Structure formats: C-alpha cells, structure tokens
Amino acid sequence: MKSKQIKKHVRKRYSRFAKENTGCCSSCGPCGSDAGEQTKAIGYSAEEIEQIPQESVKGLGCGNPTALADLNEGETILDLGAGAGIDVFLAANKVGPKGLVIGVDMTEDMVEKSKQTADKYGYKNVEFRLGEIENLPVEDGTVDVIISNCVINLSPDKPRTFQEAYRVLKPGGRILISDLVTEGELPDEIRRDFDAWAECIAGAMEKNAYKKTIEQAGFQDVRIVSQNTFHEPGLAENLKGKITSVQIKAWK
C-alpha cells in the first residue's frame, strides 16, 4: 500500500472529526456518545479533563502520555500528532509560562481547530504546526520531551518517524509514547484495509519490532512502562488478544 494513499485516508477521517466535533478510538474500546467518558476510559482523570478546553476532549488515543512523562516547568515539549490538542493543553499547564508545547499534526482542519482553541482560552505557551511526523517542522536539538498518543501506528514509515524524533531532541531528552502494537502478526486482509489503517489497527507493528525500531533510531534504555491487551466484546474475533496498548519511555 502506498504511503500517500494511507495518509490521504487518515487525513479524511481526522478532518471529519475536527469538522463534526466528534471522535473515538474504536480499536481501544466501544464508542459512546460522551467524549469525556471515552477520554476517562483511556487513562485521563476527571480533574485533568476539567483543567483543559473541552473542545480538545474527543475520546481519541490509547493512553495518557502526559501522566507518565514527568514534565517539568520550563521544558519544551513536542506532541507528535496533536489532533485537537488534549495533550498539548495538559502539558502546557505543567510546563508553565516559561515552557513551550509544540503540537504537530498533518490534518489541516485539526491544526486550525487547535489554534482557535488556544486563542480562545489565552494559551500563550503553545504552538500548533502543520506537518508530518516523518518530516517534523522542528529544529535540531530543541526539544526536551516528545509525547505522542496513538499516532505513530498511523505512520507508513516508523523508522523515519523515530529518526526525526531523535533529531529534534536535546541530548538527554526523552520520549513517552502511547501507541498500539500487535502480539504476533495481523491477517493480511487487515493490513491491506485503508479503514483499518485509519482506525489505528492495520499500521500497528509487532511489539518487539516496535521497540527495536526505537533502539535502531539511537534511543537508549527503551522500556515499556505500561501495557494493556484488548479483549473487548466489540473487537473482531481475529483481533482479540492481538492488539495491545503500550506506553514506552526512552532517552537520547
């Protein structure tokens, strides 16, 4: 499958989420009508949700990277695939006015929506940039921490994505990635399905291969700090026990 076709399909899905003010990670559990409840189900607390613009809360993702990234005041944070900005705004509250949080997303409608939200609520320490995670619009060695939430699985070129992450990090910088991986190989028909790509399934790498890809990009001490394998009733039978949500930490 060609990268351009995959990205076109993914953009279409997330553009719809931005325009319709809807969202849900169907592969992470059953979708309901309450984005707040969906967001809690993937690891965010009620207190965190109350602290940020509700426009950014869409029930997307497969974890809460800001909870485990140990963010500090004054740091520069980069969110790969920022979407509506939930993790950007949470991180902005943690790094304070002397810090900076940059959100990069390839879907123009999402970027515009996030910029409007930031302006509406007066966030001065955030930036939203249009770009692809395989070619980040960020200078070398300028970021303290990289976070990402169920986005890297959407990339057709994961080695390039992690190489870019390594490039923009400062020496000693760290990543905290929430993502979906697989336990074993997925059926070929799923790998070829554009909808399955957009739903964060078809592009998921096998867990050990995913870790190795991060190591090959140059990262050290790559560790899984949390994981959960899905067995939800709504998940297709040929996927039960094969899709795992992981949170991975590593250092430059």
- 36: tokens are 């707040």
For the record, the structure tokens of 167 come out as 């490039």
How many Cβ atoms sit within 10 Å of the Cβ of residue 137?
A: 11
Distances (CA, A) of 39 to 99, 200, 224: 25, 16, 22
Which stretch of 24-33, 139-148, 238-247 has the lowest confidence by average pLDDT? 24-33
How many percent of the chain have pLDDT more than 70? 92
More confident residue, 146 or 40: 146
pLDDT score, position 32: 52
How high is the mean pLDDT of the chain?
A: 90
Of the ranges 19-33, 86-100, 184-198, which one carries the lowest mean pLDDT score?
19-33
Q: What's the pLDDT tens digit per position in 102-128?
A: 999 999 999 999 999 999 999 999 999
Query: In this predicted structure, what is the pLDDT of residue 168?
Result: 98
Give CA–CA dist 183/205, Å, rounded: 9
In this structure, the strands spanning 126-130 and 100-105 are parallel
Say yes or no to pLDDT of 161 above 90. yes
Question: In this predicted structure, what is the pLDDT of residue 175?
Answer: 98
Q: Which CATH superfamily is domain 3-251 in?
A: Vaccinia Virus protein VP39 (3.40.50.150)
- What DSSP string describes 210-227? HHHHHHHTT-EEEEEEEE
Lowest mean pLDDT among 78-82, 132-136, 153-157, 200-204: 200-204
Mean pLDDT, residues 180-190: 91
Average pLDDT on 132-148 reads 98
Neighbours of 236 (CB within 10 A): 13
pLDDT score recorded for residue 97:
97
pTM of the model: 0.92
